[in-house]
Amino acid sequence: ETGVTQSPTHLIKTRGQQVTLRCSSQSGHNTVSWYQQALGQGPQFIFQYYREEENGRGNFPPRFSGLQFPNYSSELNVNALELDDSALYLCASSLVGGAGSPLHFGNGTRLTVT
Amino acid sequence: AQSVAQPEDQVNVAEGNPLTVKCTYSVSGNPYLFWYVQYPNRGLQFLLKYITGDNLVKGSYGFEAEFNKSQTSFHLKKPSALVSDSALYFCAVGYGNNRLAFGKGNQVVVIP
């Protein structure tokens, strides 16, 4: 059983640029969620994808967008990067279900915006 | 709206002593509660969850948590802490469809 893998591990971008982060779900999981973890904070829910469609969104602007592919892998895209976008971005996969299903997290992508 | 509070920034404990990390929650409806651990430069690892049933939940690596509905708490405990338990611990409440609202985290430092 392969776990959740994310790439790249680290990334440095300049304000105003665009970035794409990638995630491969754990085998057998059909739902992927993205979280942003700012330094010293808990992770914040960005959005979730199920069956290649967005299935819920947190309090993040539209310049945060995503995709889910038929093999359940996913991308997080952020346009017009701002300094406050610097954070650890975590991908989590799970089987679709209620609020009691645990999420399985990848090791994250550390994004630095200068 | 659902929320979680972890009142302490850091918990220091001597190796071999009991470890407690505190968490209180606020939800409408039945609570689904989780504890995750994060090691440096790593993602979050699932430790345990409470959905229903016994108030004492046992999880990975010898950790357990006690659900207390009247106090809206879900404290994480370990009878004898190890140096390797030093990490960042997050309490979270589940809501909607597989979503989590996290607390700010507690840094646990186990002193040899």
pLDDT in tens, B55-78: 999 999 999 999 999 999 999 999
pLDDT recorded at residue A44 = 97
pLDDT recorded at residue B69 = 93
Residues of B in contact with A43 (CB under 8 A): 44, 90, 100, 102
Residues 43-72, chain A, touching B (beta carbon < 8 A): 43-45, 48, 50, 55-56
Higher pLDDT, B48 or B9: B48
pLDDT recorded at residue B98 = 81
Mean pLDDT of B47-57: 92
pLDDT recorded at residue A38 = 95
Distance (Å, rounded) from C-alpha B3 to C-alpha A18?
Answer: 32
Higher pLDDT, B43 or A21: A21
Give which of B43, B21, B48 is closest to B103, Cα–Cα. Answer: B21
pLDDT band for B84, please (50, 70, 90 cuts). very high
Task: Please give the backbone phi and psi of residue A34, each rounded to the nearest 5 degrees, phi first.
Answer: -120, 140
- Find the Cα–Cα–Cα–Cα dihedral B98, B104, B105, B107, rounded to 10°: 160
pLDDT over threshold 60, residue A23: yes
Distance (Å, rounded) from C-alpha B39 to C-alpha B32?
Answer: 24
